Amino acid sequence: MSLTFLILWGCIISALVWPSHGCKKCCGSCTRPKRPACPDIQEGRSGSNKRYFPNTDKKRCTAASSQNCKGKFYSSEHECKSCCQSFLK
């Protein structure tokens, strides 16, 4: 086998393997789907199916119900604040 073939084969294999590495930090979306898909959750209510989005009016992350929200969003307020800082300015 020639050296060129081996290098080309290595590049192809690395290109296939690289996307399989998962996202490590800030992989969720900072843009909220339009209501009624993700309705607000009143403050003080508990529940495990909360997702957090930046609320530009209040300059903080607010909780929404994740039952009908399609996509990957943040599951904690702290994660939302640290990953969506540009939306909260």
CB atoms within 10 A of CB 15: 9
List, in order of start, the domains of the chain with CATH numbers: 36-41+48-89 (4.10.410)
Q: 70 vs 20, which has greater pLDDT?
A: 70
Q: What is the mean pLDDT of residues 27-54?
A: 76
> C-alpha angle 59/61/63, rounded to 5°?
140
pLDDT of residue 1: 65
pTM, entire model: 0.62
Q: Hey, which bits of the chain come out as E strands? A: 50-55, 60-65
Tens digits of residue pLDDT in 8-34? 888 787 777 765 566 778 888 888 877
52 versus 35: the higher-pLDDT residue is 52
Q: Comparing 43 with 81, which gets the higher pLDDT? A: 81
Write out the two tokens for 84. Answer: 């969506």
Helix (H, G, I), strand (E, B) or coil at 24: coil
